[in-house]
Structure 1
Amino acid sequence: MTHLRTPRRPERRRGRGFRAAAVLSALVVAGTAAFGLSSTPAFAAGNTLTVNVGTTVRPVTHVAAGGLYGVDTGSTPPLSQLYPLHVNTFTQPPPGTKQLGNGATSPCCDGLQVAGKITDAGGQQYLRLPDIFSTFPYNWVSWSDWEAKIRTMITARVNATNTTNIAGYEIWNEPDANWAESTKNDPNAGSYLDMWTRTYRDIRAIDTLTPIIGPGSSVYDHDFMLAFMTNAKNTNTLPSVAVWHELQDFSYQNVQAHVTDFRSIEDSLGLPHIPISINEYASPAQVDQPSIGVHYMAAFERAGIHDAERAYWYEAGTMDGLLYNNLPTASYWAYKWYGDQSGNVVQTVPQSYLDGVASYDASRKQVNVVFGGDSGTNTVRVNGLAGLGNQVSVQLSSTNTTGRKTNQAAPNLVSTTTYTVVNGSISVPVSNMDAVAAYQLLITPTTGTPTYQQTYEAENATVVNASRLSSSTASNGGYVGRIDGAGDARTDSFVDFLVNVPTARAYTMTVKYANATGADATQGLAYNGGGFSTVTYPPTSSGWGNPTGSVDVAVQLKAGYNVIRLAKGSPNFGGGTGFAELDSIRLQ
């Protein structure tokens, strides 16, 4: 029997922490108690991770690829390190932040100041409003002081007319852990629920458009969440996104149960299901262990989480430890493999602590399995491979097991092996596994594999103020519709495709679409921050949700990563006409 290495002792957190020391101790104790006397569970070899390629979970959106204070201004981190991660969502401090996080000597990461970089990388962000305060627990003064701060922050966002990626305002952070402590010197502060209601209305008096998210609790608790949602319903102050944290050791094991419980609360109150954000995840002892990141990826994908952000325990602007001195750590490569996934997330069935997240891209004929969590010799069995031919090439790679202050220049290539597909399946033994490391299996046909990704599904892209929808007639089963908004940076509708091409040249971009208006529709096309041109979509006769139309346009792309935007509305674009749904783009 082998064991996971003992998690590293968390460093003493200086200055502002994201929860009080007593709460952190409680979380660690709770995580330990769940597994007996040690937070290090025992591991045994001989387990099998099963991947069912034919069972689709949902489109690839890289939900776990986000961070709390993950991006700073300037080159911290550089876009070149963000692009491969295909980032999803960040939580950043508000405009005018005074927060001094984790021993910092000056505030950082103002959401409006980093908005351009996050947009360029393909991401969205939430603004954490209480980080306008300089300390944690927050140094609340009075209602007049707080409401003045709210007016200043929300007005700053409204006036940022070129900023399109503010996905929500987070009214408070971890109220279950710090509201009483933060307001202890103000007898008139009232309860947290009263504060939520009053602040919600204060925000809506200035900004009626930007979503409001919450409650941002430090742990998931049924009674707290029920009280919060009941109050929000009764006061007409419901959040657009439900938010809580998963910060205990091994709390990835609780994600599905917490989601199920929250959905039952919504049902009991007669409320529609809203997106869920886990905007802080992983404990300080485990956040730097590559396999733990993989466990969270798998848990979030299965549970249908909308977005999740790695916790900010140490330095800001490092993708929460994925980078050190702007260069990759071991965990970076697990997230890079995850970022490489495209097409659909497919079913994985774990055994013991061996788990993973897998994708299948039919246009590339590629299966990408990112896994880890057990020691010794284990097996990955992949079913549903008939479409890849009689033989497949399987590339196995691994990360190192070092933490956040040790760089790893590239993943380790363990082997490249040809397997015969028997009854649609292969079984890949993986020997000498380390339970801390992450691993990747990249499965492709032995012949006929494209040299670079050519087709990009709209549902895999960054979708802003529009909807990912499903259709049996859409390529890969999904498309993006309701691309209807124009005229305001808070409601502009567009799809940003992050593409990676091998050479700088002119490419023909084929856009698959549907337009059931009966007349031409138009959208704006821009790439890499350049000017807009117009794409015209003639009407299609097959109706909405049936993207049978295609148009070709020329785009001049640089070698490497490029961001291509198709927009109904966008800054510096007057707005498109009519309506069109997007299925995919293809570059040739």
Structure 2
Amino acid sequence: MTIRPTPRRLLAVAAVVVLTLGFQPASPAYAAVDGMTVNFSLFGGTPTYRASGFIYGVSTNASAPSVSTTDQIKVKTMRAGGSQIGCPNGGWVNGSYGPRWDFMRAYYNRAQRTGARVEMIIAGLWGSDGVCNVPRWPGDNGNWTDYTNFINRIIADVRAAGMTGSNVRWDMWNEPNIFFWGRGQAQYLEMVRRGTQQIRAALPGAVIVGPSCACSPNNSWFATYLDYVRANNVVPNILSWHALPGDPAVDAANASSMLAARGMSVQGYSVNEYGAFGAEQQPGPSAWYIARLERCNCDGARANWGMVGQTPSLYDTLGWLTTSNAGQPMGQWWVYKRYADQSGQRTNITAGSSHDGIVFQDSGSRRSLAVFGARAGGAQGAIDIRYTNIPSWLPTNGSVNVLVERMPSTNAAVSAPTVVSNSRFAVSGNSILVPVNWTNANDAYAVTLTP
């Protein structure tokens, strides 16, 4: 999880590639500094809102921010494990498992009200959260009794709470390749084997997630993990990693190659922390991450850089979507709101060199809604958004109405996106060109086309 004293890691980012719903020609040249092309003739798939997720971000009793704040952005993943509760001596390893489980149960109930799944961070329940003392680790000195008892306790508690369905995912450990795991990889892998077998024996339908590493799936640590889980028949249901920073679409392609080389398969991918500290938690990069997650059909959970006892806290802001304490939407919350407003059929878009978006067309409501963003440090200036093969149901008398809204980069409350323009565009050759003066790469834009 992204709750550490200082953000002290950068991951190598692979070169951006064009990934689309299907095949895609090379990106065209633009007179502007960057551009994207929407092709209405290529579409398919209804909204999943799979990128709308976060780690922690609600109060320890799961009552704040308001349920409507999460309902409106159609949250699909809530990831937590009680981290930092009771520190410096919290969690099972310090004899303080109860308060963390109480939070986990409240968090689950909140997720149920919102219609989201929960990813349960077992490391947090143990007490490994980057802040608390961890006097021992599972399997120290070859003794696995404590860990076995720990997993048995969680199994009993999830049964008692009715948390045995597929809407609860078991995240076997958080970021085991860095300081959240205080021993070597071999001991970690033995823990994964024992824990996975124990959970699946008790709950055959349990959804196992791993390795949730602070890494991309392109290195020897990840390769060793895959080789081990394959050899020991403990392959996770969901393969997970973090992008802090990273490109989920590129990472997913690498993961697929690594799996294929081993004859392995999983049910899906989860980038269960995305968005590095700082600029990547602003509207533009947030929208870019949403687009990249959608391209690889990866579930996503927004990172949380808060700390208990500081502002923002780990237990508010939904990962810096809302203001501290008051819970008012900021610019990045509106990115997720416009994402949640999308309906109809997902539509093909060619990404630019540093810009990308997620586009839907809805013939029933005669509307297309797109959310566009730029990766951190992306190009600023004139950005061309080309819409091609506009369907006959969208224009009226040869033109369409184009509403351009900006979600500003700010740490203050934002009552609504800023309307940049609201005007008609003549359709020529079933196409229009919407220019955007993108003066700040940390801003995001929504473009709505109607008759």
Kindly report which structure 2 residues correspond to 1:146-295, keeping only aligned pairs within 5 A, or say none. 146-161=147-162, 164=165, 166-178=167-179, 182-183=182-183, 191-220=187-216, 221-248=218-245, 251-252=246-247, 255-295=248-288
Deviation at 1:85, TM superposition (A): 0.7
Alignment partner, residue 321 of structure 1: 320
Stretches of structure 1 that go unaligned for 5 or more consecutive residues are 1-15, 36-43, 446-588
Alignment TM-score, normalising by the size of structure 2: 0.81
Deviation at 1:17, TM superposition (A): 5.7
Deviations 1:502-524, CA, capped at 9 Å, x for gaps:
xxxxxxxxxxxxxxxxxxxxxxx
Deviation at 1:20, TM superposition (A): 7.3
CA–CA separation in structure 2 for the residues paired with 1:350 and 1:437: 17
Return closer, same or farther for 1:55/1:153 CA change in 2, 3 Å cut-off. same
Return closer, same or farther for 1:76/1:163 CA change in 2, 3 Å cut-off. farther
Conserved in 1, the CA contact under 8 Å of 2:199 and 2:206?
no
Alignment partner, residue 126 of structure 2: 133
Deviation at 1:70, TM superposition (A): 3.1
Alignment partner, residue 391 of structure 1: 399
Return closer, same or farther for 1:224/1:190 CA change in 2, 3 Å cut-off. closer
CA–CA separation in structure 1 for the residues paired with 2:15 and 2:293: 20
Return closer, same or farther for 1:272/1:321 CA change in 2, 3 Å cut-off. same
Conserved in 2, the CA contact under 8 Å of 1:93 and 1:109?
no
Conserved in 2, the CA contact under 8 Å of 1:158 and 1:207?
no
SS in 1 for 2:200: helix
Higher mean Cα deviation, 229-238 or 72-81? 72-81
CA–CA separation in structure 1 for the residues paired with 2:383 and 2:250: 27
Alignment partner, residue 54 of structure 1: 41
CA–CA separation in structure 1 for the residues paired with 2:437 and 2:264: 49
Deviations 1:181-215, CA, capped at 9 Å, x for gaps:
5248xxxx962111110111222232222111101
Which structure shows the higher strand fraction? 1
CA–CA separation in structure 1 for the residues paired with 2:58 and 2:206: 21
SS in 1 for 2:10: helix
- 1:376 paired with 2:360, answer no
Return closer, same or farther for 1:224/1:171 CA change in 2, 3 Å cut-off. same
* Equivalent of residue 408 in structure 2, options 400, 405, 419: 400
Alignment partner, residue 72 of structure 2: 84
Deviation at 1:335, TM superposition (A): 1.1
Alignment partner, residue 432 of structure 2: 426
Deviation at 1:97, TM superposition (A): 8.5
Kindly report which structure 2 residues correspond to 1:403-418, keeping only aligned pairs within 5 A, or say none. 403=411, 406-418=412-424
Counterpart code for 1:247: L
CA–CA separation in structure 2 for the residues paired with 1:228 and 1:108: 28
CA–CA separation in structure 2 for the residues paired with 1:340 and 1:134: 38
Alignment partner, residue 122 of structure 1: 115
CA–CA separation in structure 1 for the residues paired with 2:161 and 2:101: 18
CA–CA separation in structure 2 for the residues paired with 1:272 and 1:289: 34
Deviations 1:297-352, CA, capped at 9 Å, x for gaps:
111111221x1000011122321110112110111111111111122221221223
Return closer, same or farther for 1:182/1:402 CA change in 2, 3 Å cut-off. same
Conserved in 1, the CA contact under 8 Å of 2:372 and 2:444?
yes
SS in 1 for 2:368: strand
SS in 2 for 1:199: helix
CA–CA separation in structure 1 for the residues paired with 2:333 and 2:55: 16
SS in 2 for 1:439: strand
CA–CA separation in structure 2 for the residues paired with 1:161 and 1:211: 15
- 1:330 paired with 2:339, answer no
Deviations 1:448-493, CA, capped at 9 Å, x for gaps:
xxxxxxxxxxxxxxxxxxxxxxxxxxxxxxxxxxxxxxxxxxxxxx
CA–CA separation in structure 1 for the residues paired with 2:240 and 2:438: 39
Deviations 1:40-69, CA, capped at 9 Å, x for gaps:
xxxx95432211122126431112110011
Return closer, same or farther for 1:219/1:162 CA change in 2, 3 Å cut-off. closer
Return closer, same or farther for 1:340/1:419 CA change in 2, 3 Å cut-off. same
Conserved in 2, the CA contact under 8 Å of 1:116 and 1:163?
no
The structure whose RCO (Cα within 8 Å, separation 6+) is larger is 2
Conserved in 2, the CA contact under 8 Å of 1:97 and 1:108?
no
CA–CA separation in structure 2 for the residues paired with 1:34 and 1:344: 28
Alignment partner, residue 27 of structure 1: 10
CA–CA separation in structure 2 for the residues paired with 1:218 and 1:348: 29
Alignment partner, residue 308 of structure 1: 300
Return closer, same or farther for 1:173/1:57 CA change in 2, 3 Å cut-off. farther
Return closer, same or farther for 1:277/1:166 CA change in 2, 3 Å cut-off. same
CA–CA separation in structure 2 for the residues paired with 1:135 and 1:210: 22
> How many pairs does the alignment contain?
402
Return closer, same or farther for 1:201/1:362 CA change in 2, 3 Å cut-off. same
Return closer, same or farther for 1:154/1:108 CA change in 2, 3 Å cut-off. closer
Alignment TM-score, normalising by the size of structure 1: 0.63
Conserved in 2, the CA contact under 8 Å of 1:212 and 1:240?
yes
Return closer, same or farther for 1:401/1:257 CA change in 2, 3 Å cut-off. closer
CA–CA separation in structure 2 for the residues paired with 1:293 and 1:61: 17
Pair member with larger Rg: 1
Counterpart code for 1:260: A
Identity of aligned residues (%): 26
Kindly report which structure 2 residues correspond to 1:493-512, keeping only aligned pairs within 5 A, or say none. none
SS in 2 for 1:174: coil
Deviation at 1:116, TM superposition (A): 2.5
CA–CA separation in structure 1 for the residues paired with 2:239 and 2:128: 25
Conserved in 2, the CA contact under 8 Å of 1:68 and 1:320?
yes
